[in-house]
Amino acid sequence: NAGVTQTPKFQVLKTGQSMTLQCAQDMNHNSMYWYRQDPGMGLRLIYYSASEGTTDKGEVPNGYNVSRLNKREFSLRLESAAPSQTSVYFCASRYRSMNTEAFFGQGTRLTVV
């Protein structure tokens, strides 16, 4: 009964390094999301994928890329990390075609030094 699984849970990067945050869900959901949480800013949408094969920008997409690898997996890539990308990242998923809640992973705490 895994739900939404994110890896890694913690990561420290040097400025300019790249990395990919992984997310997988086992609930057969159509839609998947990447958010970042910063103090006083709430949860801001980076990218989302309404269904397999589609991706769209959210509120804060600059510096990120995403891949919807298949229905289960949605990855977030930082090509050249910057200190401003220090944040907690959350992946979520939900059914697209009906009004339902989104389920979240446990988060990835990323620090860029």
Partner 1 sequence: DQQVKQNSPSLSVQEGRISILNCDYTNSMFDYFLWYKKYPAEGPTFLISISSIKDKNEDGRFTVFLNKSAKHLSLHIVPSQPGDSAVYFCAASARETSGSRLTFGEGTQLTVNP
Residue 9 to residue 100: CA distance in whole angstroms: 26
Nearer to partner 1, 48 or 64 (CB): 48
- Does residue 34 bind partner 1 (CB under 8 A)? no
**Binds partner 1 (CB under 8 A): choice among 34, 48, 64, 74:** 48
Nearer to partner 1, 56 or 79 (CB): 56
**Binds partner 1 (CB under 8 A): choice among 12, 15, 27, 41:** 41
Where do contacts with partner 1 occur on this chain (CB under 8 A)? 4, 30-31, 33, 35, 40-45, 48, 50, 56, 58-59, 90, 92, 94, 96, 99, 101-107
